[in-house]
Chains A and B, each alone.
Chain A
Amino acid sequence: MTTSLLSAQNLSVRFGGVLAVNNVSFDVREGEVFTLIGPNGAGKTTVFNLISRIYTPTQGTIDYAGPQGPIRLTDQPPHQIASLGIARTFQNIELFEHATVLHNLLVGRHTHSRSNLLSEIFFTPAVRRAEIEAREQAERVIDFLDLQHYRDTMIAGLPYGVRKVVELARALCTQPRLLLLDEPSSGLNVEETDDMAFWIQDIKHELGITVLMVEHDMSLVSKVSDRVLAMNQGEVLAMGTPREVQGDPGVIEAYLGSVDDVSSLRREVA
């Protein structure tokens, strides 16, 4: 019996006159890969921003099965989200430009550090041990994503594809239970997208992390997703397995415009 890790009910958010998200409800089950698809401007990233509490919904709630029991996410301040086990990547990459890759990953370990200010100023042995522990965890993630080569490079000098991977690595360093990936394959070429697909599958199977992602690349979506939610103009169009949703007429019309060219775009589920 798979439990619901995150569930959004009647989520709506309004920015001035724009209703960016309108009455969206869905639930993400533990251990699955759940994807949000939809044309640009559909409100997918806005939903992410609602979950990570960058925005506050004008209506609706988000419930999360926290480590100590169910929690109303919409009551939490933004900086608590990471310690609840929710990590995210950003569509336009929000890395720390003037720091090395390792440094970025170590920031990801922030919620796991227990040292207080005074012991940090004196750099007590306990702080030293905590530092070594943090680095060991970061190294695990570096190994997982093959970032050894870039460990000591400044972000400002890295190509786009590598930055996307570092963004993912940083999110993994927080040891999340739920990982929000915002367009993980945007800007990546075919090989990098394939790598990303393998990593998402490894994250699901090896690390046991639930993944909620926004994606445009349909081949990636079909390859890794268990369930898909299609959105358009802030509203839910369809929800189900990738096949079901891709075959839904409403989705086809929103995405592609006409029914005719669908057959060439339908992909086989891996």
Chain B
Amino acid sequence: MRFIFKTDYDQDIRLAKHGGHVFWYGLLCVLLAAAPVLLSEYLLAQLTFILIYGIVGLGLMLLAGFTGLFSIGHAAFLGVGAYTQAVFTGMGVPFPIALALAALLSAAVGIVVGLPALRVKGIYLGIATLSFGFIVEEAFARWESVTGGNAGMSVGQVNIFGWVADSGTSFYFVCLVIAVLCTLACINLLRTSTGRAFVAIRDSEISAQSMGIHLAYYKTLSFAISAALAGIGGALYAHQIRFLSPDQFNIIQSIDLLLMVVIGGLGSIHGAFLGAIFLIGLPQAISAVKDYLPEAIAQAPGLKAVIYGAVLIAFVLFEPLGLYGRWLKVRTYLQLFPFYRKGMFKRQKSFQKSDRLK
């Protein structure tokens, strides 16, 4: 059991709160750096996908988990980033600049999508973002001169001023570096006044306002940053997949992203990556298990949907804190053994009060 005796404000502020943090995260970094050596090419590609979806998840987590604004059309930002990257790379623009443009354009679209957030809340905002998602998807399909429409568009490779990331390993490292930078940026944001403002808006808009937080500014900022992160993820996604088509950014993709943050654990940075691991890992797990299932079930096209739905329902019913929450419980159990009490994480039973009066 670890007791942290605080003697310094820095201890509260800094990223690694104690030695254990340094050790485990250091180990994680070493393992990630060594991944190309440890994993097969196929698994490395999956890990790259996890990093990419993790970046997008960070964005959605910031928006939904930390600011409480739910976006059911987030795939639109993924798409904007992806297509922007594809177009500019095709024009010969170097990778870092194209990436920055992808992020900025996504942020701009994010600000536009966030405009309804200033006037409406809750389910209305969800429907507004859903609507934007459909409109953007349709725009990708119709704007054939730029996006190639439904026929699709191919994407060039990562070209950083001459150095081309032409192997799985080199592209993996590009994604790893960007993922780490994005994660650090988010963590930094969350431990300063902007991050606290986001959380304040989530929990009580009225008192956030009375503490001097400009709601319109921070809500728009949250949308912009979240969209920018999704755009960066989209740009990397474009390079990974090498071929884009509008239906990759449809409502199903948006719901997959939501699934990711909910199952990962709303309101935690870890949740974004745990959710990404889940999202990429589940189809692999299903494929692995297929051999053991009767023919009729294994080959059925609806199997994936049923399992996804069932897992989502199970998590909401039994583990609302998500994978990160479950991990916290396990860790607390191990830390406090044998003094762990069953009800430690139990939510106080709350009777439903009208959300309309929030």
Contacts and interface: CB of A to CB of B under 8 A. Distances in A.
B13 interface: yes
Contacts of B188: 120-123
A240 to B, nearest CB: 30
Interface stretch (A10-18, A56-64, A83-91): A83-91
A120 B196 CA distance: 12
B255 to A, nearest CB: 25
B159 interface: no
B196 A78 contact: no
A99 B208 CA distance: 13
Nearest to B196: A107
Contact of A110 (B12, B189, B213, B267): B213
A120 B184 CA distance: 11
A128 B13 contact: yes
Interface in A129-176: 131-132, 134-136, 156, 170, 174
B212 A120 contact: no
A106 B196 contact: yes
Interface stretch (B30-38, B143-151, B198-206, B334-342): B198-206
B194 interface: yes
B207 interface: yes
Contacts of B212: 79-83, 110-111, 174
Given A79-B214, A136-B9, A120 B194 contact: yes
Main secondary structure of the interface of A (DSSP, over half): helix
B287 interface: no
Contacts of A131: 9, 13, 191-192
A120 B13 contact: no
A129 to B, nearest CB: 10
Contacts of A96: 199-200, 202-204, 207-208
A15 to B, nearest CB: 15
Interface in B233-286: 267
B210 interface: yes
B221 A117 contact: yes
A113 B245 CA distance: 45
A99 to B, nearest CB: 6
B210 A87 contact: yes
B310 interface: no
A80 to B, nearest CB: 8
Nearest to A102: B12
Nearest to B195: A120
B299 interface: no
B119 to A, nearest CB: 15
Interface string B213-245: 111000001000000000000000000000000
Nearest to A116: B194
Contacts of B208: 96, 107
A269 interface: no
B348 interface: yes
A132 B193 contact: no
Contacts, number: 105
Contact of A127 (B192, B202, B267, B348): B192
Q: For B196, B207, B209, which residue has the most chain A Cβ atoms within 10 angstroms?
A: B207
A109 B206 contact: no
Contacts of B194: 117, 120
B295 interface: no
Nearest to A127: B192
A176 to B, nearest CB: 11
Contacts of B215: 79
Contacts of B175: none
Contacts of B305: none
B197 interface: yes
Contacts of A78: 209-210
A52 interface: yes
A132 B214 contact: no
A31 interface: no
A240 B295 CA distance: 87
B211 interface: yes
Contacts of A115: 192-193
Contacts of A136: 9
Contacts of A106: 193, 196
B185 A52 contact: no
B166 interface: no
Given A99-B199, A121-B185, A81 B210 contact: yes
A96 B201 CA distance: 9
With most chain B CB atoms within 10 A of its CB, the pick from A52, A82, A90, A120 is: A120
B68 to A, nearest CB: 10
Interface in B307-358: 348
Nearest to B13: A131
Contacts of A211: none
Contacts of B9: 131-132, 135-136
B321 to A, nearest CB: 11
Contacts of A97: 203-204
Given A127-B192, A132-B10, 18 more contacts: A54-B206, A79-B214, A82-B211, A88-B210, A95-B203, A97-B203, A107-B197, A110-B213, A113-B193, A120-B188, A120-B193, A121-B185, A131-B9, A131-B13, A132-B9, A156-B348, A174-B211, A174-B212
Interface of B: 9-10, 12-13, 185, 188-189, 191-194, 196-197, 199-200, 202-204, 206-215, 221, 267, 348
15 contacts: A79-B212, A79-B213, A79-B215, A80-B212, A96-B207, A97-B203, A107-B197, A107-B199, A107-B211, A110-B196, A111-B211, A120-B188, A121-B189, A128-B10, A131-B191
Can you list the 10 inter-chain pairs with the closest CB atoms, starting with the nearest?
A: A82-B212, A94-B207, A111-B212, A96-B203, A123-B188, A113-B193, A120-B192, A79-B214, A94-B204, A132-B9
